[in-house]
Amino acid sequence: MRRGRTYNSAIAAVQKFAAKSHVALLRASKGRFGGRVLGGPVLVLITTGRRSGERRETPLLYVEDGNSFAVIASNGGTASHPAWFLNLASKPEAEVRIGDRTFPVRAEEASGEERRRIWDLAVEMYPTYEDYQGRTDREIPVVALRRI
């Protein structure tokens, strides 16, 4: 059995509601409210659902990496990857919205030195990522969102 807790349906429903509310707040305020959470900046990642084909918007902490943005697919240290990561694996072209600006991006999972460097930046911003990694057997993916 893989190590890492799973979310029950009640927690999953609360998370989904919170994410949708956060996206709505960011959109309505053009990023003036909700643009920073837990000590870090927030972007909205816009993906295409791998099964539904529908537009999915997910608020995520991010770090800037040169001309790219990087996000961490921690899913709170659960045993499975977050849905947005699986959507990007299916279709890596996506969009990033920060404030009232939207950028087309292509997602690439970082590896090697790039992964270590971005992971360290992310942990410096939000140390709980290390706790999440300690809760699961999977290596938490680091995703570079490169502008196109």
Cα 33 to Cα 26: distance, rounded to the nearest angstrom: 6
List, run by run, the mean pLDDT of 10-residue segments along the chain (148 residues). 59 78 85 83 96 96 94 94 96 96 97 97 96 94 97
| Stated pTM of the model | 0.89
Tokens of 114: 């790039």
Q: How far is CA 95 from the centre of its chain?
A: 12
**Cβ atoms of 58 and 24 closer than 8 Å:** no
Amino acid symbol at 106: R
Question: CATH number of the domain at 9-147, please?
Answer: 2.30.110.10
What tokens were used for 144? 């570079």
3-state secondary structure (DSSP) of residue 12: helix
Report domain extents, the chain.
Answer: 9-147
